[in-house]
Amino acid sequence: MAAAKKVRNIILVGLMGSGKSTVARIIGKKLGWQVCDLDRLITEKAGITIPEIFAGKGEAYFRRLEKELLATVLQQGEHLVVATGGGAVIDEENRRVMKENGTMVYLRAEIKDLCRRLGKGKGRPLLAGGEPEEILAQLAREREAFYREAQVIVDTRGLTPAAVARQVITAVFQDAGEKGF
C-alpha cells in the first residue's frame, strides 16, 4: 500500500469576498498552524494599502509583489494556512508553486453572496468604478478554470466561516489519508 501524502500547507484560493482570510484564521487556530494573509504581507512590504498600490504603481507591480511573496512564504516550511488574493491564480507559476507546496483549496461562493459581503467594494481596486455584481461575474468567468485546478473545492453557499473551515480541514486530511477533524 502506498504511503499517504502528508499535508504540508493549506492554500486558500477564490474570488474576493469568498472568505479566504477569515477561514484561514479559523483553520490556523484549529490546527495550531501559522496563518499567512498574502494581501496583508503585500501591504506590509509595500508600506501602502492595496488601493494605493493599484493607483500609484499599478496592478502589474501588485502582481509581481504577490508572486514574490507567495513563493517566499511557501518556501518557509510546513504547517501554514495561506490566504491568497483572489487573482493569485491567474499566474501559471503561482498555481504550480501552490500545488507543489501544499493543498490548494478553492472556496467557491455565489456572486450574490460575494456582493452581499463586499457591498460597494470599498478598498477593492478591481471593483472601483463599476457595478460589483457585473465585475465579479466577469472575474468568475475569467478565473473559474484556474480555481478549479485546486485539489479541493468547498462550496461556501449557506455556510458560516467556521463550517467552511471544518469542511476544508476534513476534505484536506481525508484527501491525504489522514484523520480529519
CB 81 within 8 A of CB 34: yes
Is 156 domain-assigned? yes
Predicted TM-score (pTM) of the model is 0.91
Please give the C-alpha separations between residue 82 and each of 64, 68, 73, in angstroms, as whole numbers: 17, 14, 8
CB 11 within 8 A of CB 98: yes
- As a whole number, mean pLDDT of residues 136-146 equals 95
Is 141 domain-assigned? yes
Is 2 domain-assigned? no
The residue among 52 and 6 whose pLDDT is bigger is 52
DSSP three-state, residue 31: helix
Is 181 domain-assigned? no
Q: Whats the size of the chain, residue-wise? A: 181
C-alpha cell at 20: 479566504
**Could you tell me the CATH number of the domain that includes residue 110?**
3.40.50.300
Is 57 domain-assigned? yes
Neighbouring C-beta atoms of residue 145, cutoff 10 Å = 9
Is 68 domain-assigned? yes
The residue among 174 and 13 whose pLDDT is bigger is 13
**In whole angstroms, how large is the CA radius of gyration of the chain?**
16
Is 3 domain-assigned? no
Up-side HSE of residue 9: CA atoms within 13 Å toward CB?
26
- Structural domains counted in the chain: 1
Residue 163: predicted pLDDT = 97
CA distance linking residue 124 with residue 68, whole number of Å: 21
Residue 6 DSSP class: P
Is 80 exceeded by the pLDDT of residue 21?
yes
Is 1 domain-assigned? no
pLDDT digits (tens, 9 = 90+) for 113-140: 998 888 777 778 788 877 888 999 999 9
Query: What domain range includes position 47?
Result: 9-175
- As a whole number, mean pLDDT of residues 75-82 equals 92
Q: In the predicted model, what is the mean pLDDT of the chain?
A: 90
C-alpha cell at 166: 471544518
